Amino acid sequence: MSNQGGRSRAKQRAKERLEKQQDIFRRKNNLLKEIRKYNDTALSTVCDPLLQSDDKSFIDKMKKILLLSENGVRISANQIGITKRVIIISPDRKTVKVMINPEIIDHSNETSISVEGCLSYPGIITQVPRYNRISVEYVDEQFNRWMDDFEGLAARIIAHETDHLNAICHNRDEWIKNKVQ
């Protein structure tokens, strides 16, 4: 009797564990579905500056989606359908840096060519030349103004995302080229 009770309790716990995992999976999937893809109009829209008085709740959603994504190191607001000038970078995929109204105000003369992917064009990679070093002016979530220098991977991913804010994406160009062929 007691044995049977123990077994049914264990069964119940296993069922609850499974349901919890399914719930996490479902929520994760629903968030990832918010990434706009291919010819979504948000991706071809030049984004507006974010004002201090604007609703900023979408920024937390961007952080979640970026960290949930597979291999994602950066995301722009219009990649989740919000056409505001906000990007989040995560070169290490652990910490995130929010950059609002980023503006590349200076850059090195030297460029490097490297492969880039994009959350909005899964499976499409393309070689893109980028400046090795850039100076970026932006505000943080508290609207403090910053001017920072970035190099290497960080410079590359900021350049990719500021392109998105200006409705530019080399991965989209590559996707269109592949479609036409």
Q: Which is nearer to Zn ion, 96 or 118 (CB)?
A: 118
Q: Please choose, from the candidates 111, 125, 112, 129, the residue with its C-alpha nearest in 3D space to the C-alpha of residue 172.
A: 125
- 64-70 own/partner pairs: CB under 8 Å, 24+ apart: 64/31, 65/31, 65/32, 65/34, 65/35, 66/90, 66/96, 67/93, 67/96, 68/28, 68/31, 68/32, 69/32, 69/35, 69/119
Q: Which is nearer to Zn ion, 15 or 177 (CB)?
A: 177
Instruction: Kindly identify the residues of this chain, within the stretch 26-85, that bind Zn ion according to CB under 5 A.
Output: none
For the chain, counts of helices (H) and of strands (E): 4, 7
Minimum CB distance to Zn ion, residue 164 (Å): 5
Q: Which of 86, 118, 157, 159 binds Zn ion (CB under 5 A)?
A: 118
Minimum CB distance to Zn ion, residue 171 (Å): 6
x-marked contacts with Zn ion along 121-140 as a string, rule CB under 5 A: --------------------
x-marked contacts with Zn ion along 139-158 as a string, rule CB under 5 A: --------------------
Is 161 known to be catalytic? yes
Minimum CB distance to Zn ion, residue 119 (Å): 6
- Residues catalogued as catalytic: 161
Residues that bind Zn ion (CB under 5 A): 118
